[in-house]
């Protein structure tokens, strides 16, 4: 739903009026002016401008002054970023602690301390952010985003498969899609990894290797659990 609102604001909303250098563009002219080329619409600033201006225009159609509408959207964007950052930090901290959890359920030191685990996560994220000038270091991970999404889907299907096996239900409906998604995604990641090695992208090589190792570990755990449940 949020994605639809953003598309409407950055498209139709922007067409309601775009003031650039004292000249007002409307309709198709506004759209073509802002999105004149890939370079002109590239970058976070250009993308946010389109959303903020378009949203302010939409608010104005309900009688809300544009400056108040723009201020509201800016607060919304900042709040969304903060809550996303908070959620991401918590999830990473929990994931880190889970990796270092023993079979008896205890978390190994020093990650048993939630503050220490959070500090490790934050420092790692900060290092990634400033890996490149201008805080653009995190964009290095963008090529891995699609693969990670597909791996999450495959692992989710794996969890459902193990659950269905425990309930003595047919598992082919989830097992086959999981296998297909997992094999194709790992194949693509292996090819990308070879490309990163050739291009000298050391960071992507290391992160890709870690992801592949963790995926193999989780897949092995799922298969082991599945075999136990079937017997």
What does the pLDDT read at residue 71?
Answer: 92
pLDDT 10s digits, 55-87 = 888 888 888 888 898 899 889 888 988 888 888
Please calculate the CA angle 157-162-168 and round it to the nearest 5 degrees: 125
The arithmetic mean of pLDDT across residues 135-140, rounded, is: 66
What does the pLDDT read at residue 204?
Answer: 80
Print the SS3 string covering the chain: CHHHHHHHHHHHHHHCCEEECCEEECHHHHHHHHCCCCCCCCCHHHHHHHHHHHHHHHHHCCCCCHHHHHHHHHHHHHHHHHHHHHHHHHHHHHHHHHHCECCCCCECCCCCCHHHHHHHHHHHHHHHHCCCHHHCHHHHHHHHHHHHHHHHHHHHHHHHHHHHHHCCCCCHHHHHHHHHHHHHHHHHHHHHHHHHHHHCCHHHHHHHHHHHHHHHHHHHHHHHHHHHHHC
What does the pLDDT read at residue 109?
Answer: 85
The separation between the first and the last C-alpha atoms of the chain, rounded to the nearest angstrom, is 44
Instruction: Assess contact for 31 and 15: CB atoms under 8 A.
Output: yes
What does the pLDDT read at residue 45?
Answer: 72
pLDDT at 231 over 70: no
pLDDT at 115 over 80: yes
pTM: 0.61
Q: How far is CA 193 from CA 150, 188, 189, 198, 210, in A?
A: 16, 9, 6, 9, 11
Distance CA 77, CA 98 (A): 31
Distance CA 152, CA 156 (A): 6
């Amino acid at each position: 739903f949020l994605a639809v609102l953003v598309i409407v604001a950055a498209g139709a909303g922007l067409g309601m009026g775009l003031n650039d250098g004292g000249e007002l563009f409307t309709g198709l002219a506004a759209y073509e002016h802002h999105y004149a080329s890939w370079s002109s619409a590239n970058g976070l600033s250009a993308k946010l401008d389109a959303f903020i201006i378009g949203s302010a225009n939409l608010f104005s159609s309900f009688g809300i002054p544009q400056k108040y509408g723009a201020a509201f959207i800016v607060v919304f964007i900042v709040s969304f970023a903060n809550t996303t950052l908070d959620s991401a930090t918590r999830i990473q901290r929990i994931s880190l602690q889970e990796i270092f959890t023993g079979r008896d359920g205890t978390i190994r030191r020093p990650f048993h301390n939630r503050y220490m685990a959070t500090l490790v996560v934050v420092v790692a994220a900060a290092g990634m952010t400033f890996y490149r000038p201008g805080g653009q270091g995190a964009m290095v991970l963008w090529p891995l985003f699609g693969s990670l999404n597909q791996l999450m889907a495959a692992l989710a299907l794996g969890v459902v498969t193990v659950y269905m096996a425990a309930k003595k239900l047919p598992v082919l409906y989830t097992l086959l899609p999981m296998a297909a998604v997992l094999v194709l995604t790992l194949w693509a990641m292996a090819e990308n990894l070879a490309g990163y090695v050739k291009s000298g992208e050391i960071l992507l090589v290391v992160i890709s290797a870690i992801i592949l190792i963790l995926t193999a570990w989780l897949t092995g755990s799922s298969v082991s659990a599945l075999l136990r449940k079937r017997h």
